[in-house]
Amino acid sequence: MNKLPHLFANNLAWSENLRHTDANFFETLAEQQSPEYLWIGCSDSRVPANEIVGLMPGELFVHRNVSNLVVHSDMNCLSVIQFAVDVLRVKHIIVCGHYGCGGVAAAIEEKPHGLIDNWLRNIGDTAMKYKNELSSIIEHRVKIDRLCELNVIEQVQNVANTTIVREAWQRGQDLTVHGWIYGIKDGLMRDLDVSVSGN
Ligand code: ZN
């Protein structure tokens, strides 16, 4: 017996709805995936990748972690990027942060949060790098939101500096890295205009 019956009921309805519009939807999808996009986003439950950009299963390769970080020693994230770039041959890598990110806020709080503070230290480093700009912002919420943007900008650079992406560009592969930010309050994305490509 299913322990969470409402979720299985939701799943059945979702599956039937998709089959209603395309009877062979899942059979076709089972053959292969060929997404054009890799999404690197926050684990936050309010930022569901596919829904935000209106993409169907099979159209978006997704990696999510707390505060959408790309850390050069994180084999999980690097493996996702490598598979997406080398095997799936995605054309776009989207780093999408969001305003009001709890991880970003926690990174510059004084109080400890346990193990996760080691992960959030990466955001602390970004806050240090931009401390002059950030210290000029009086309102705390505005400061957090600016750090959310700066964090995305730094992660775009981190993606672009991986050996995976550098080598893809060296061999002339069509690949662009984008930095976007999502507003939980209005459901809208903004392009931070920091896109980089190999050309
Ligand atoms: Zn977040």
DSSP string, 137-173: --SHHHHHHHHHHHHHHHHHHHHHTSHHHHHHHHTT-
Selected catalytic residue, list 44, 96, 145, 178: 44
Selected catalytic residue, list 77, 101, 148, 178: 101
Distance CA 69, CA 76 (A): 11
- What is the CA(17)–ligand 1 centre distance, in A? 30
- What is the CA(64)–ligand 1 centre distance, in A? 10
Q: What is the mean pLDDT of residues 73-96?
A: 98
- What is the CA(143)–ligand 1 centre distance, in A? 15
Give 41's strand partners: 64, 96
Amino acid 199: pLDDT: 64
Amino acid 33: pLDDT: 86
Angle, in degrees to the nearest 10, between helices 140-160 and 163-170: 50
Angle, in degrees to the nearest 10, between helices 75-82 and 163-170: 20
pLDDT at 139 over 90: yes
Amino acid 1: pLDDT: 64
Q: pLDDT class for 114, splitting at 50, 70, 90?
A: very high
Q: pLDDT class for 105, splitting at 50, 70, 90?
A: very high
Determine whether 96 is an active site residue: no
Amino acid 34: pLDDT: 92
- What is the CA(162)–ligand 1 centre distance, in A? 23
Give 31-79 pLDDT, tens digit per residue.
888 999 999 999 999 999 999 999 999 999 999 999 999 999 999 999 9
Q: What is the mean pLDDT of residues 13-37?
A: 93
Burial grade of 170 (CB within 10 A; 0-12, 13-18, 19 or more): exposed
- What is the CA(125)–ligand 1 centre distance, in A? 17
- What is the CA(26)–ligand 1 centre distance, in A? 31
Selected catalytic residue, list 19, 46, 72, 140: 46
Determine whether 148 is an active site residue: no
pLDDT at 169 over 90: yes
- What is the CA(16)–ligand 1 centre distance, in A? 32
Residue in the block written with tokens 């346990």: 114
pLDDT at 174 over 90: yes
Determine whether 98 is an active site residue: yes
Determine whether 46 is an active site residue: yes
By the 8 A CB rule, do 105 and 149 touch?
Answer: no
